[in-house]
Chain A
Amino acid sequence: DTEVTQTPKHLVMGMTNKKSLKCEQHMGHRAMYWYKQKAKKPPELMFVYSYEKLSINESVPSRFSPECPNSSLLNLHLHALQPEDSALYLCASSPFSDRGSGNTIYFGEGSWLTVV
């Protein structure tokens, strides 16, 4: 079982709605990530938080707003989304390290988002 927990597992929202995806990890990791994955494609990085500070934003539209309340929690606030934003949204975490050996990322089960 994954140690990265995401809620909700499924979300359907209208284009004018505001909703949030939530993620929690208890592995003591200091880096947390949001990825987006479309069908039959690899995950695409959206945001990276390191030590609760936003360190990478991969030019994601402002209708996606990340938040890291503490080292264990990560939220993704959604507003005025488009149907093409429908996808599997993956939260992940890793021990933070910007040098040396590779930094293994552990993914959650994902939140399926459908925008209608």
Chain B
Amino acid sequence: EDQVTQSPEALRLQEGESSSLNCSYTVSGLRGLFWYRQDPGKGPEFLFTLYSAGEEKEKERLKATLTKKESFLHITAPKPEDSATYLCAVQAAGTYKYIFGTGTRLKVLA
């Protein structure tokens, strides 16, 4: 069965304290792995799409990496405005349905 697990569920960081969020997945043929940021009461904001193991993408303080079993979202020197829920989703071969993880709630303290 296709599955996505995110860890930790919640994370508190001091401003400037770098860390990583994990997304482990089991899928029958990966079409893509997606990272989103979601602020309270808003829709998910697209961050990255990764297609194959070894791929990396960066945007400002965020860097996403992908292996055959998991993806990491690295946050370098986070700021309070990075506080949000980060969602990971995978798309299996032969479908355009997303399987979402339950998210990591990140709080960055000033």
- B103 cross-chain contacts in A, Cβ below 8 A: 42
Q: A88-B43, A98-B95, A105-B46 are in contact. List 16 more A-B contacts (CB 8 A).
A: A45-B97, A94-B96, A97-B96, A98-B94, A101-B51, A102-B31, A102-B32, A102-B51, A103-B96, A104-B32, A104-B49, A107-B44, A108-B43, A109-B43, A110-B41, A110-B42
Chain B residues 27-61 with CB under 8 Å of chain A are 30-34, 36, 41-46, 49, 51
A-B contact count (CB 8 A): 68
Q: Are A56 and B44 in contact (CB under 8 A)?
A: no
Given contacts A42-B87, A42-B101, contact A102 B41 (CB under 8 A): no
Kindly state the interface size class of chain A when it binds its partner: 20 to 34
**CA distance in complex: A108, B42 (Å):** 8
